[in-house]
Every structure is written in C-alpha cells, then in structure tokens.
C-alpha cells in the first residue's frame, strides 16, 4: 500500500472512528497496523523537521496512533522495574 493511499484510509477511518472497536478488522486494521509499522521502523514520523526551526505534523499518523487505542484492548505490561513506595522491593 502506498503512503498516499494509507493516508486516505487512515483519514476515512478517523471520520468513522465512532464505529471502530476491537472487533474492527479488514482494511481499517491493516491501515492502522501499517502506519504503526512505519513509525516503528522509522520510515515515518508524526512530526518532521522542515528546517529553520519549522516542523510539519503528519496528522494522519497521529490519527493512526489514536485509532490503535480503539482497535486494541489495553492491558498492563509487566516490567522488571519496581518503584519505592508501591509495596514491592526495589531492584527489578
């Protein structure tokens, strides 16, 4: 999928975001996952420097990140880090 088509798909999904949930699949999920993949591998950025202290915000990528919260159940991800005062010993 080319970048322009991906941007169109994300924008269309954003306009229909009230109907998007964890059961949504197909093209919407594929487009969001592709956009997140681009962010993960560094081939796209939510904000890009244009030079002379100017930045361009790629709104469609911001929308993709926000849509991913609707598409995926949130879950606690355990880590090895413990913080003082939370009832656990330190030294994770």
Contact of 71 with 24, CB cutoff 8 Å: yes
- What ranges do the domains of the chain cover? 3-71
Which CA distances in Å does 61 have to 3, 48, 66, 80, 84?
11, 12, 9, 30, 36
CA 70, CA 20: separation in Å to the nearest integer?
A: 6
Given CATH 3.30.70.1350, say whether it is the number of domain 3-71. Answer: no
Residue bearing the bigger pLDDT, 87 or 58 = 58
Closest CA to 66 of 46, 40, 49, 47: 46
Query: For the segment 13-42, what is each residue's pLDDT rounded down to a tens digit?
Result: 999 999 999 999 999 999 999 999 999 999
What's residue 82's pLDDT? Answer: 67
Residue bearing the bigger pLDDT, 88 or 56 = 56
Residue with tokens 């656990």: 88
Query: For the segment 68-88, what is each residue's pLDDT rounded down to a tens digit?
Result: 999 999 888 787 766 666 655
């Amino acid at each position: 999928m080319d970048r322009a088509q991906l941007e169109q798909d994300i924008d269309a999904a954003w306009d229909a975001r009230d109907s998007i949930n964890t059961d949504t699949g197909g093209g919407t999920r594929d487009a969001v996952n592709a956009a997140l993949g681009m962010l993960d591998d560094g081939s796209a950025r939510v904000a890009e420097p244009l030079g002379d202290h100017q930045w361009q915000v790629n709104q469609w990528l911001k929308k993709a990140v926000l849509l991913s919260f609707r598409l995926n159940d949130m879950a606690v991800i355990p880590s090895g880090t413990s913080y003082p005062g939370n009832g656990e010993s330190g030294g994770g």
